[in-house]
Structure 1
Amino acid sequence: MSDDALLYDVDADTGVATLTLNRPRQKNALDASIRVALREAIYAIRQDRSVRALVLCGAGEDFCSGGDLRGMNVQSAEEGRNRIDDLHGWVGMLLDLDRPVIAAVDGVAYGAGFSLALTADFVLATPRARFCMPFMKIGLVPDCGAFYTLPRIVGMARAKDLVFTAREVGADEAQRLGAVFEIVAPDALRARAMQIAASLASASPVAFGLAKRALNQSLSVDLRSMLEMESAAQGIAFSTAFHREAVQRFKDKQAPLFQWPAA
């Protein structure tokens, strides 16, 4: 591992990028250096169309323990608001990224670490993964987009449970709640995340991006607007070379361009 707080790597063969939080001694807590690096990296990924999918992970045996409490010397409401508002630029970009995002969670995913995992389309977790929204324990509220993502993923009642009680949940319960897609052995976690990311990266980038953005809006938009969005998106998807080749392959009884499951 290098000394950089955030490691960025791209597999040229698959187009899968990896962002690794790299402060293992601090359980990958989000200090100022990681927050700045995340903003720069996610902006770069958003602009780079050669990146077809993204994997988020943590160095060592933990994903992310949340914000670094040693750096939280906030003295006013304005300072506190600005601190969190600075996060929202890259959190919003990550949630809206029109490519697959996979979070590979080992060990703790606490606070903003849990919120970061929830920005992913799929969360993989090891049996020893632990998730928690501990904000009530220190008199704070969830951040990094959790007020948006958590109730959409687990439902309002469960979101209130996790936020108000600040209790920890293991990988099995997180999977039952819908926050975890798959539980994977620790030594296979990174490889499985890359495998799923590579599989999704082989899908039509246009169709995937349109579908993801439509789904992200579906719970806050009326029926007529969603139907219009669906019509427009399908029109664009029909016009792509990917669609035409996929149909021709079907007619010729050839292997499809996109295949799932990733195995």
Structure 2
Amino acid sequence: MKTIEFRVDGGVALLTLNRPEAKNALDPVMADELGELLEALRADASVRVLVITGAGGAFCAGGDVKAMGQGGARTHAQRRDGMARYSRICTGLMALEIPVIAAVDGVAFGAGFSIALMCDIVLASERARLCLVFQRIGLIPDMAAHYTLPRVVGLQRAKELIFSAREVDAAEALRLGIAMEVLPVDALLPRAQAIAGSFAGASPLAMGVSKRALQGSLGHDLQAVLDIEADGQATASGSDYAKEAVRRFAAREPAQFRWPAASS
């Protein structure tokens, strides 16, 4: 891949957006590579957790505006069809049943902010800056931001962040619940990898069921959620993972999964 670095170690996948000269802005090449990789990950049972970060002190500066200006005149249908490669990223990322952690350093603007919002956990460095910048150039947020942002911060605050196109620093991201933790720059990726390493020891079956249930929870009624839980619990409780976890508990042996303590 030309614009992405990817490696897997012990079930933990690290995906690095790698166009540092453009602050990892999302151009068509990166969009296609990211979409293909995310689709491949869905079928790779060896990957238990995914960490997404950016190279060169930035997460992602959004869409590559320079590349947008080089496309020439296009019809409405052509412009709409051109969004398919970005929708592919969204469906691929949201369909993953493994935990996805965003390690956000520096700018996460536009599509970069959207990508972070689609992740299950967002860790931010102290110098992180997030912004749905679209209104400044006469555009609207895309890559599912209208779906994800209200679910994180509530509808009124989502409107304010989208309408104003203002920046959110790391401290405010933490207050709004966009970031789960804010860390010094040097501690950001190690913390993401520590959490990812812990997830690698969790039950992939139980994690997948819970993730699907949570993602659909706002669209389900109580009975639908109870049915999902009943089916999921019946499956999970019969798994080899659950049987081994019970054995370890009874034998007072270390658990397979344990959340890592936060660094002081």
Normalising to structure 2: TM-score of the pair?
A: 0.95
Does residue 60 (structure 1) correspond to residue 59 (structure 2)? The answer is no
- How far the C-alpha of 1:43 sits from its partner, in A, is 1.2
For 2:152 and 2:84, the matched residues in 1 are separated by 23
For 1:125 and 1:253, the matched residues in 2 are separated by 36
Secondary structure (helix, strand or coil) at the match of 1:219 reads: helix
List aligned pairs for 1:157-236, cutoff 5 A: 157-236=156-235
- How far the C-alpha of 1:30 sits from its partner, in A, is 0.1
Structure 2 unaligned blocks of 5 or more: none
Partner of 1:30: 26
For 1:100 and 1:86, the matched residues in 2 are separated by 23
Secondary structure (helix, strand or coil) at the match of 2:66 reads: helix
Partner of 1:88: 87
Secondary structure (helix, strand or coil) at the match of 2:62 reads: coil
CA contact under 8 A between 2:194 and 2:260: conserved in structure 1? no
- How far the C-alpha of 1:75 sits from its partner, in A, is 2.4
For 2:8 and 2:148, the matched residues in 1 are separated by 27
- How far the C-alpha of 1:85 sits from its partner, in A, is 2.6
Aligned length: 259
Displaced runs of 4 or more, over 6 A: none
- How far the C-alpha of 1:191 sits from its partner, in A, is 1.4
Partner of 2:255: 256
CA contact under 8 A between 1:131 and 1:168: conserved in structure 2? yes
Residues 53-75 of structure 1, C-alpha deviation per residue, up to 9 Å, x if partnerless? 10101000100000001121462
Q: Which amino acid aligns with 1:172?
A: A
Partner of 2:143: 144
Secondary structure (helix, strand or coil) at the match of 1:17 reads: strand
Query: Over the residues paired in the alignment, what is the CA RMSD in angstroms?
Result: 1.2
Identity across matched positions, percent: 50
Does residue 4 (structure 1) correspond to residue 2 (structure 2)? The answer is yes
- How far the C-alpha of 1:262 sits from its partner, in A, is 4.6
Residues 148-183 of structure 1, C-alpha deviation per residue, up to 9 Å, x if partnerless? 110001111110010000000100001110000111
Residues 169-212 of structure 1, C-alpha deviation per residue, up to 9 Å, x if partnerless? 10000111000011111112111111111111211000000000
For 2:75 and 2:163, the matched residues in 1 are separated by 24
CA contact under 8 A between 1:84 and 1:143: conserved in structure 2? no
For 2:55 and 2:215, the matched residues in 1 are separated by 29
For 1:96 and 1:254, the matched residues in 2 are separated by 34
- How far the C-alpha of 1:20 sits from its partner, in A, is 0.7
- How far the C-alpha of 1:103 sits from its partner, in A, is 0.4
Partner of 2:117: 118
Q: Which amino acid aligns with 2:194?
A: Q
- How far the C-alpha of 1:87 sits from its partner, in A, is 1.5
For 1:44 and 1:127, the matched residues in 2 are separated by 33
Normalising to structure 1: TM-score of the pair?
A: 0.95
Secondary structure (helix, strand or coil) at the match of 1:104 reads: strand
Secondary structure (helix, strand or coil) at the match of 1:56 reads: strand
For 1:252 and 1:84, the matched residues in 2 are separated by 54
Change (3 A) 1:123 1:32: same
CA contact under 8 A between 1:199 and 1:262: conserved in structure 2? no
For 2:7 and 2:110, the matched residues in 1 are separated by 25
For 1:143 and 1:262, the matched residues in 2 are separated by 35
For 1:138 and 1:50, the matched residues in 2 are separated by 42
The more displaced of 89-98 and 140-149 is 89-98
For 1:154 and 1:76, the matched residues in 2 are separated by 35
Partner of 1:132: 131
CA contact under 8 A between 1:133 and 1:142: conserved in structure 2? yes
